[in-house]
Structure 1
Amino acid sequence: MHRPNKRVDGNRPVVGNGPVVVIGAGPYGLSAAAHLRARGLPVRVFGESMVSWREHMPAGLLLTSTPAASNIDAPQRGHTLLDYCDAAGLPRPATDEDIVPAETFAGYGQWFQEQLVPDLEQVRVVSVDQRPGGGFEVKLDSGEQLAARAVVVATGLTGLEWLPFELAAAVPDGPSPAGPMSHSAQHRDLTRYAGCELLVVGAGQSALETAVLTAEAGARVRVVARGRGSVAFGGTPWNQPRLRPASPFGRAWSLYALSRYAEGYRHLPAAARHSLDRRVLGPVGAWWLQERYEGKVETHEVRRVVTAETRGGRPVLTVETLDRRPQMLAADHVVAATGYRVDLAALSFLGHGLRARLAVSRGTPELGAGCASSMPGLYFTGVLAGSSYGPVMRFVCGTEFASPRLAGHLAAAHGT
């Protein structure tokens, strides 16, 4: 629910002592921490380095972003993806046609962390609450409690996996790779489904690449996608229109504006921002995936999934076909590649009272300048800031926009 009465003011001073706490050690958390330290601020960073990339993505996954759009922003030179490849003795992915393995990117993130955030603390933040005198009280699962002058939330997609209600009804205890249905974010090893019949629900890159990787592992795979012509693939780099400006997402004026002018995005009406967030860069497969998909994965285009249930331990989907007839699809397992939804309620470590005082719009934080929330000293970056700054925050290249601004805002608030 939108609370328009709560003003997001990026110029109010932050009160409180102690370090700046960064929660999350993925690309956005590591980048923010590096910039904050370069500003001379005391920083403590909590989390496991690149854990989502190392443990929640299937083996064999490739990045959809180009090498040039896959750099974690640093306050000094020498920490790009190419710098890592040189240091690790790996081939340099220099052109848009070079595809970067997710495993290489995970290694890059860990190298970046070792170089710029060497004292990362691999503990979990249990709770964050406001302190009566200003600042925040942070509790860790190690038992430690500390006072923080500011908190930067950079937890990425962790905990934001989304299942539509018609699919969730089939797994009341939650999705699981060992059960009848899982979420695409729960897989590391897809070879477990070799010889099985699999349904993958979705039409985005996650769905299509999961389908391809599972088929290549020896499964019979069918993709269930909503709408006629819903399974589509992007154009090759050499066929991009040259008269349009380049952006990290392709050549188009709209994409160029969203990537270059993210600061202005937050000034749009909330309804327009949420609409753009849904529509821009919608479901599409990477250009290099098409050849591996066609002829190896079966596509079922439907109007919608009506219900999901289990019969004899096997999942069964009832769908409405394009000509509005019911059809049942059964398999050994269903993978729901149905994406993520940013919802502050899913960030259980944020105290209830703290969340209740934040300005939000449709469950997402309303941010002002420098990724600052309506609560002085509390910042959100990465995908959690997407509804305020646009689609660029879904991608690693968004660290170039977010991290310097966040660090600059926080440093100014503390006079450093």
Structure 2
Amino acid sequence: MHDDDLLIVGAGPYGLSVAAHAAARGLRVRVHGRLMSSWHDMPPGMLLKSEPWASDLSDPTGAYRLTAYAATRGVRAEHGVPLPVAFFTAYGEWFARHAVPAVDPRAVTAVRPRPDGGFAVTTEDGETTGARTVALALGVMPFTDVPAVLRPLMPGLVTHSSDHTDLTAFAGRDVTVLGAGQAALETAVLLTEFGARARVVARSGHLVWNTVPPSLRRDPWEAARAPHTGLGCGWRNLLYARTPGLFRRLPDTTRERVFDTALGPAGAWWLRPRFEAVADVRLGKTVVAAAPAGDRVRLTLADTGGPGAAATEVETDHVIAATGFRPRLDRVDVLPRDVRAALRTVGASGAPEVSGRFESSHPGLFLAGLLTAPSYGPAMRFVYGASYTAQRLVRGVERRLGAARRPAAVPGARTRAADRTGTRAEGTRAEGVRARG
């Protein structure tokens, strides 16, 4: 069996976009992973925070954008109208069927460099295949971040917000949600609407809500003051969205700071009226201790004002930490420990440094998605960054392979997932979505 030119680990928006560009360049490409897995697993009721026009997966001709899929469903993907998760997930599956030659649903358990410069890739059933280059598009799930004080109580009494596929099981229970971002606020709203007693605890002293997006067609003065971007309005967002390559050239300390602070926690404008139903909101508080109390959790909350601040206690049935994701190499279990240890990182962040073609410091090992956000900036935290990544990453693969240009291929084969399990109905479930890359 010949090595694949490029093997992609991950079948979400970034993995599928890279595959579409690689296939169109005539590369032998294979994608491993469950199609749109983290999107499939979001709870019913969540909506996409990003605008539809900023949520396209990327193919070279632009034939398979979200608007094209919407047309096949007789739906208009409109600016300022949030889309449900089932719709976006089904769009990703449709994209895979039309723009990607093959998706193998088996998970990859190990990627090991070979002496000849290629890679040995092992799947969950023990099969090992070869690849000349590998791209890791792992999504966000390996990088969930939960405060250290809560980790000993996982998973029985504490979970991360991304662990939940259905929040209706919490009906009638007292649930404390940590965080002030969209994931936290929307989780609290859904819990309340499903009959739970939801409480929000956040370090921030106030909640930030995004404003209703202005029309795409505005007078020149308004457009110049706050230009539209795939990351929201404003000149700073425009820089993040349009110039990731310049971001990569900033000093490590600057990139780390911006990654930690840019596009901070905020709720979507359409969620704010519904959030009024959440009766218990405690801002300016942090969890300093957590202990079991029978089958419940006792939390000690302190004011974020500093040492000596008053502490209070709360008992709750369960804690959901909607505390985001932290891209670190020590979470990339598919790579051997010695390979991870040898990769260059962005300062002390623990995140890998990547080149102008998204190649890590190990030749032939490419990275995409959240793992590259400390290198390339906030755009890589969202689906919006997939287009920039896919085009440049595939050029990097071609350069690494030393391959001459090949005739463009027109993929369109059914995915292996569909071949093995039968065609999956394109989602009709009325779900909602957190913005994920």
For normalisation by structure 1, the TM-score amounts to 0.91
**Pick from 145, 162, 175: which aligns with 2:128?**
145
Counterpart contact for 2:209–2:266, Cα < 8 Å: yes
The secondary structure found in structure 1 opposite 2:72 is: helix
> Partner amino acid for 1:148?
A
Matches within 5 A, 1:105-116: 105-116=88-99
Aligned to 2:81, the other structure's residue is in SS state coil
Please, which of 224, 228, 236 is the counterpart of residue 212 of structure 2?
A: 236
Partner of 2:76: 92
Q: Matches of residues 149-298 of structure 1 in structure 2 within 5 Å?
A: 149-169=132-152, 171=153, 174-175=154-155, 179-229=156-206, 231-238=207-214, 242=223, 243-298=225-280
Cα displacement (A) at 1:296: 3.1
Kindly provide the amino acid, as one letter, of the partner of residue 358 in structure 1.
L
Q: Is the 8 A contact 2:4 2:30 kept in 1?
A: no
How far, CA to CA, are the matches of 1:333 and 1:260 in structure 2? Answer: 41
Contact 2:189 2:277 survives alignment (8 Å): no
Q: Which residue of 1 aligns with 2:12?
A: 26
* Counterpart mapping for 1:35-50 below 5 A: 35-50=21-36
Which residue is 1:5 aligned to? none
Correspondent of 2:378 among 383, 386, 391:
391
Instruction: Work out whether residues 226 and 303 of structure 1, in 8 Å CA contact, stay in contact via their aligned partners in 2.
Output: yes
1:120-139 → structure 2 map (5 Å cutoff): 120-139=103-122
SS at structure 2 position matched to 1:364: coil
Q: 1:355 aligns with which of 323, 340, 343?
A: 340
User: Is the 1:197–1:220 contact (alpha carbons within 8 Å) kept by the matching residues of 2?
Assistant: yes
Query: What code does the residue aligned with 1:235 have?
Result: T
Checking the alignment, whether the CA contact within 8 Å between 2:23 and 2:101 is kept in structure 1 is: no
Comparing 256-265 and 111-120, the one that deviates more: 111-120
* Structure 1 stretches lacking a partner, 5+ long: 1-15
State the identity as a percent. 39
Matched to 2:248, the amino acid is R
Contact 2:160-2:322 at 8 Å conserved across structures: yes
Match of 2:310 in 1: 325
Deviation at 1:118, TM superposition (A): 4.3
Summarize deviations over 1:297-341 as a string: whole Å, max 9, x none. 421113421111110110111001367211001111111111111
Contact 2:3–2:129 (CA under 8 A) maintained in structure 1: no
Q: Is 1:101 aligned with 2:87?
A: no
Q: Which letter does structure 2 place at the counterpart of 1:94?
A: E
Distance (whole Å) between structure 2 residues aligned to residue 245 and residue 40 of structure 1 = 37
Residue 214 of structure 2 aligns to a residue whose secondary structure is helix
| Pairing 1:408–2:395 present | yes
Q: Deviations over 1:43-77 (max 9, x none)?
A: 1110000011002x111110110011010011123
Moved over 4 A (4+): none
Where 2:297 maps in the other structure, the secondary structure is strand
Q: Deviations over 1:234-279 (max 9, x none)?
A: 1111399642222112221111001000011111111100100111
SS in structure 2 at match of 1:320: strand
Q: Secondary structure at the match of 1:159?
A: helix
Once residues 148 and 111 of structure 1 are traced to their aligned partners in structure 2, the CA distance between those partners, rounded to angstroms, is 26
Cα 1:322–1:159 shift into 2, 3 Å: closer
User: Which secondary structure does the structure 2 equivalent of 1:393 belong to?
Assistant: helix
| Distance in 2 between residues matched to 1:320 and 1:77, nearest whole Å | 51
SS of residue in 1 equivalent to 2:360: coil
In the alignment, residue 21 of structure 2 is paired with which amino acid? H
Change (3 A) 1:349 1:298: same
Partner SS for 1:114: helix
Q: Distance in 2 between matches of 1:205 and 1:118?
A: 35
Match of 1:339 among 304, 318, 324: 324
User: Are 1:371 and 1:405, in contact at CA under 8 Å, matched by a contact in 2?
Assistant: yes
**Residue number in structure 2 paired with 1:64:** 49
Q: How many residues align?
A: 391
Is residue 202–residue 225 contact of structure 1 (8 Å, CA) maintained in 2?
Answer: yes
Write the distance in 1 (CA, Å) between the matches of 2:18 and 2:286: 41
User: Aligned partners of 1:297 and 1:42: how far apart in 2?
Assistant: 55
Q: What is the distance in 2 between the residues matched to 1:226 and 1:353? A: 37
SS of the residue aligned with 1:237?
A: coil
Aligned mates of 1:308, 1:118 — CA distance in 2: 49
Note the 1:299-310 alignment, pairs <5 A. Answer: 299-310=281-292
Structure 2: runs of 5 or more not aligned: 405-437
Q: Which amino acid in structure 1 is aligned with residue 16 of structure 2?
A: L
Distance 1:77 1:59 in 2: 30
CA contact (8 A) 2:6 2:397 kept: no
